[in-house]
Every structure is written in structure tokens, then in C-alpha cells.
Amino acid sequence: MANVVVVGAQWGDEGKGKIVDWLSERADVIARFQGGHNAGHTLVIGNTVYKLSLLPSGIVRKGKMAVIGNGVVLDPWALFAEIDKLTAQGVEIGPDNLMIAENTPLILPLHQDLDQLREEAAGASKIGTTGRGIGPAYEDKVGRRTIRVADLGDEETLDSRLDRLLAHHDALRQGLGATPIDRAELRAKLLEIAPKLLQFAQPAWKVMNDYRRAGKRILFEGAQGSLLDIDFGTYPYVTSSTTMSGMAATGTGMGPSAIGFVLGIVKAYTTRVGSGPFPTELDDADGQRLGERGHEFGTVTGRKRRCGWFDAVLVRQTCAISGVNGIALTKLDVLDGFETLKICTGYEIDGQHFDHLPTAAALQDKVRPVYEEMPGWQQSTQGARSWADLPAEAIKYVRRIEELIQCPVALLSTSPERDDTILVTDPFAD
């Protein structure tokens, strides 16, 4: 049977939480493979709303193993705050249903400090980070000075790691006018939380490969979106990790052959949070209407999302780079009632046509979308569970998206409720 990777195919906030939850009921193992607690998933199960940032979506379902892979950067204090919140909602969490890769890098308070200090210093040129220390933690990982989960089990190793880490950060803080880090206080905090964290630590790569050999269904859960990828996103207005499907292999230690089906989550229109290029952004009544009907506010930050028409150019691009086998199209119901809909089919830059978003920032700033108009529909699509429940115009809109992005729809979501989903292709099937 196929293992499934779920990635966002736009700028994040595509509705991955619901889709991952829908799939996780049929999976045995659900693994997060990148990002940190800057990404949020909202799950609606019955009358209960769960808001997750670090924990894989499968944690709310009994009998599933949730895995935080080595590709994630982990704030242990944020993790246990999230665990406490879910426990209060009746979710049981322990080593029997949560595993953390022992080589997972940690986000420390000094990372949050640096994140916020640099954003403040950048002024109008700021990236628009969440200020949660994600970027600085990834920098320390590739700079070979990070503290990883396993390091908390040995004080001598921890001291060595702290020495190298603080030599770097104290110099940075001095340049930004901040006080040096209190080493003793940080060390004490780490040793205090170490026993709580280490009970979940395992060689996740080994356990995951054992699960695979045993025929377990594995669901790989990505965070953010492909257009925020550190290599292929709208750089520098991106996140600090690889958000494409290939990261599922390196972010868990499974290897690329473990990936069976890549499901790209795509919203029926386009949104993004923070700064950066957005070719189809709407600063008019239509954009406001999309934001209001779609409740477009970030799960983690609460920030209002920028809204625009569907950009088939960008989705085609991200589907190609991630090797997407099929998409889950979400929030179709938000488009109910529009007289006319627009889809971006190409770009014009200084009179020249482009069928992709160029890498050069100067060219991105000059992009003008080329639109194709389609008639909207006046009937409601909310809660539709079969093609027969959809207006003809809505079906035409979906089919045109498939043509333009060169990728079929595998799932169609018509409300936040998990059962309001039309299954076209089963991602878990061989």
C-alpha cells in the first residue's frame, strides 16, 4: 500500500489540517517532517475544535502513532504547552502515541530573541516571520552548533554544545545592542525540561523503517506551503525549511522510496500571510469578500491573510517541483455567489509572456497576471459530498483548474467538516 505525503501547494493555510485528519483515520503513523510551531492546523471533529502547531494531526485520534521528525525544529516549552491544552480537551498523549526523533534540533529562547531583534532592526525590509525563532534555529542546525534532543541526556555534551552556541549568539546580540545570554539560567531550564522531553525520544528513522516493513500505513505531514520553500519559494519572503515533498524522506530518515503518493493541498483561491510577491492579490471588494467568507486569519498568529484569485501558474509550478500525484482542492464553498470568477493562466512582464514565476526579484515585482474569466454559481456548494451535489459551473471551474495545473483532483473539500469531502482517488491505494 502507498504511503502518503501531504504538502501545501500555495503559501500555506490551504486547509491541510482537515485533509490530514481525514487521511489520518486510515493511517497508522502520522509524521511531521519540517517546520516548527509557526505553522498551525485547525481540526474540527464533531463539536470540538483542535488547534495544533507542533503535534501531528493524528495525535487527536486513538490508536495512532504521531511522530515529530528530525526535519522539525522543536520548541520544548511550546510543545508541552500544546500537550497541556489538548489534554484539557480530553486527548491522551504519552510515549505510546507520540515519538520525537532524538536528533531533532531545539528552539531555545535565544532563537526567539534573535528572530525578533532582527525583524525590528530590518524595519520596512523585514521578512514577516512569526518571531518564534524558527529561522535562527535552522541556521544553528546547518551551522553545526545546535542543541538536539539527545544532547539533553548528558550534561557534559550539553555544556559543550552550549559553549559553541553562546559564542555565536552573544556576539550577534552585542551587535544588535542586546545583553548577553544568562548561560546558567538557560542550562537550568534545559535540564529541568530534559526528563519530560527524553521520555518521547527515539531513533525515529529506525522505528519508522520498522513500521514500513511491517506494512503500516504512513502519512507524512508537511507544514506551511511550497511557495514558502527556502529554495523554490518567493525568496527571501520564505520560511527556513524545505517545504516540498522530498523533505518527507530526509525529515524522517525514511528514504525517498518510502514515498508513494504526493497529495498537494490547494485552496480554490489564493492567500498568503506576511510580505512578499503576490501576483493575483486583490485590494478591492472581491478580495475583502474572499477574506470574510473564508475566515482568513492565521491559526497561529491571528494575522489577516492577503487574498486573491486562483493562480494556476504557481500551483502548476509547485505541483511539478513536488511531484504531486493529485490535489485536494479546499474551500470551494467560499466562491459561492460570485457572478464571475477569474483564474490566472500566465504572466506578463514588460510585454513578455511567462508561463512560470521567474526567480529574479526584479522580475517578480513587475509581474502582471493574465486572467481567464469563468461564470460563477449562485447555488451553495457547502457540505457537498458528491459531484451530483455541485452546480455545473462549479464542476467546470474544478475541471479547468485540473487542466491548467496539469494535475488531477483527488479530493474535494466543501466545508471545514471532515466528512464534507468528495473522494475521487484514494491516495492510500497502490
Note the pLDDT of residue 430: 65
Distance CA 91, CA 103 (A): 26
Tell me the three cell numbers of residue 372.
481567464
Domain boundary pick from 197, 222, 245: 197
Check whether residue 308 and residue 394 sit in a common domain. Answer: yes
Residues 286, 393, single domain; the answer is yes
Residue 37 annotated in active site:
no
Inter-residue long-range contacts of 345-348, CB under 8 Å, 24+ positions, other chains counted: 345/312, 345/313, 345/370, 345/371, 345/372, 345/404, 346/313, 346/370, 347/279, 347/313
Q: Which residues contact 85 (CB under 8 A, 6 or more apart)?
A: 51
**Listed residue (419, 410, 409, 411) closest to 382, CA to CA:** 419
What DSSP designation does 385 have? -
pLDDT at 127: 67
Query: What does residue 413 show for φ and ψ, rounded to 5 degrees?
Result: -105, 135
Q: Same domain, yes or no, for 43 and 175? A: no
Q: What is the CATH number of the domain that holds 85?
A: 3.40.440.10
What backbone torsions phi and psi does residue 308 show, to the nearest 5 degrees? -165, 180
**Do 35 and 157 belong to one domain?**
no
CATH classification at residue 342: 3.90.170.10
Is the domain of 192 the same as that of 205? no
Predicted TM-score (pTM) of this structure: 0.92
Told to judge if 41 belongs to the known catalytic residues of this protein, a careful annotator would answer yes
Q: Are residues 311 and 353 in the same domain?
A: yes
84 in a domain, yes or no? Answer: yes
Enumerate residue ranges in the chain where pLDDT < 70: 1, 39, 124-128, 298-302, 430
In the chain, the number of structural domains is 3
Q: Residue 373 falls within a domain, yes or no?
A: yes
Query: Is 406 inside a domain boundary?
Result: yes
Give 45's strand partners.
48
Interval 84-108: pLDDT, tens: 999 999 999 999 999 999 999 999 9
pLDDT in tens, 279-329: 999 999 999 999 999 988 765 566 788 999 999 999 999 999 999 999 999
Same domain, 226 and 373: no
Q: Is residue 232 part of a domain?
A: yes
The set of cell numbers assigned to 164 is 559553541
Residue 164 lies in a domain: yes
Q: Which of 23, 50, 418, 96 is nearest to 260 (CA)?
A: 23
* Boundary residue ending a domain (171, 197, 223): 197
One domain, residues 181 and 282: no
Strands 41-45 and 48-52: antiparallel
On whether both 136 and 184 belong to a single domain, the answer is yes
* Alpha-carbon radius of gyration of the chain: 22
Question: What's residue 323's pLDDT?
Answer: 96
Alpha helices by DSSP H, 264-306: 285-293
**Are both 271 and 252 inside the same structural domain?**
no
Residue span of the structural domain in which 331 resides: 267-423
Burial class (CB in 10 A: 0-12, 13-18, 19+), 57: buried
Task: Please report the DSSP string for 306-328 in residue order.
Answer: EEE-EEHHHHHHHHHHHT-SEEE
Choice among 13, 21, 113, 115 that is catalytic: 13
Q: Assess if residue 301 is contained within a domain.
A: yes
Rounded CA separation 48/154 (Å): 41
Q: Is residue 123 part of a domain?
A: yes
> In this structure, are strands 409-413 and 352-354 parallel, antiparallel, or unpaired?
unpaired
Choice among 21, 28, 37, 41 that is catalytic: 41
Question: Quick one: 281 and 409 in the same domain?
Answer: yes
- Per-residue pLDDT at 87: 95
Please enumerate in sequence order all residues whose Cβ is within 8 A of that of 144, keeping only pairs 6 or more positions apart, or say none: none
CB 410 within 8 A of CB 326: yes
Question: Which pLDDT score, from 0 to 100, does residue 82 have?
Answer: 95
Nearest Cα neighbor of 244 from 3, 9, 2 is 9
Decide if 325 is inside a domain: yes
pLDDT of residue 49: 85
Residues in the chain: 430
Q: Which helix (H) or strand (E) holds 405?
A: helix 392-405
Work out the mean pLDDT of the chain and round it to a whole number: 93
Are residues 98 and 25 part of one domain? Answer: yes
- Which position has the grid cell 520498522? 210
CATH code, 116: 1.10.300.10
